């Protein structure tokens, strides 16, 4: 039996006043952290900057990027056993946050919204709460 590699994603954790930025794609009900899959040859930082600019119309300031953590869980909407590995970064940005590309809306989430996010995002929510970074 072969094991499938985890889906590799990069995510941006952006917290303001105890709330974390979430995004929802067009036609979906689940919220997730902005970001996405890397393109061939891209570093984590390059993926983060490109994805956030595509999805939210802002530019991450590269010298402010800080690693937050890597989390793994069952991939949303995929067969059992297909995992997603989300490497998360924090960082400042320039520009005005607004939905773009496939993103229908951006929202500010608290821990009460935990059931509205993907499985891997729920693990990250737990981590953010343990560190008192988001409100209950």
For residue 123, give the CATH number of its domain: 3.90.79.10
Residue 15 lies in a domain: yes
Quote the DSSP letter at residue 16: E
Residue 13 lies in a domain: yes
Taking 70 as the threshold, does the pLDDT of residue 2 lie above it? no
Residue 117 lies in a domain: yes
> pTM for this structure?
0.92
Tell me the per-residue pLDDT of 13-27, one tens digit each, with 9 for 90 and over.
999 999 999 999 999
Mean pLDDT of 5-19: 95
Q: Does residue 54 contact residue 100 with C-beta atoms inside 8 Å? A: yes
**Which residue range forms the structural domain that includes residue 121?**
7-130
Residue 30 lies in a domain: yes
pLDDT category at 3 given cuts 50, 70, 90 is: low
CA 109 – CA 112 distance, rounded (Å): 8
Counting the structural domains of the chain, the total is 1
Tell me the per-residue pLDDT of 28-57, one tens digit each, with 9 for 90 and over.
999 999 999 999 999 999 999 999 999 999
Residue 135 lies in a domain: no
């Amino acid at each position: 039996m072969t094991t499938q590699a985890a889906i590799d994603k990069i995510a941006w954790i952006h917290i303001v006043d105890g709330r974390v930025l979430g995004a929802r794609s067009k036609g979906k009900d689940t919220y997730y952290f902005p970001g996405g899959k890397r393109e061939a040859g891209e570093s984590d930082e390059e993926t983060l900057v490109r994805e956030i600019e595509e999805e939210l119309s802002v530019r991450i300031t590269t010298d402010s990027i800080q690693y937050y953590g890597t989390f793994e869980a069952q991939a949303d909407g995929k067969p059992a056993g297909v995992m997603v590995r989300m490497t998360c970064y924090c960082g400042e940005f320039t520009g005005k946050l607004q939905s773009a590309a496939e993103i229908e809306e951006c929202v500010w989430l608290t821990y009460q919204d935990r059931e509205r996010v993907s499985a891997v995002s729920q693990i990250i929510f737990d981590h953010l709460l343990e560190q008192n970074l988001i409100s209950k």
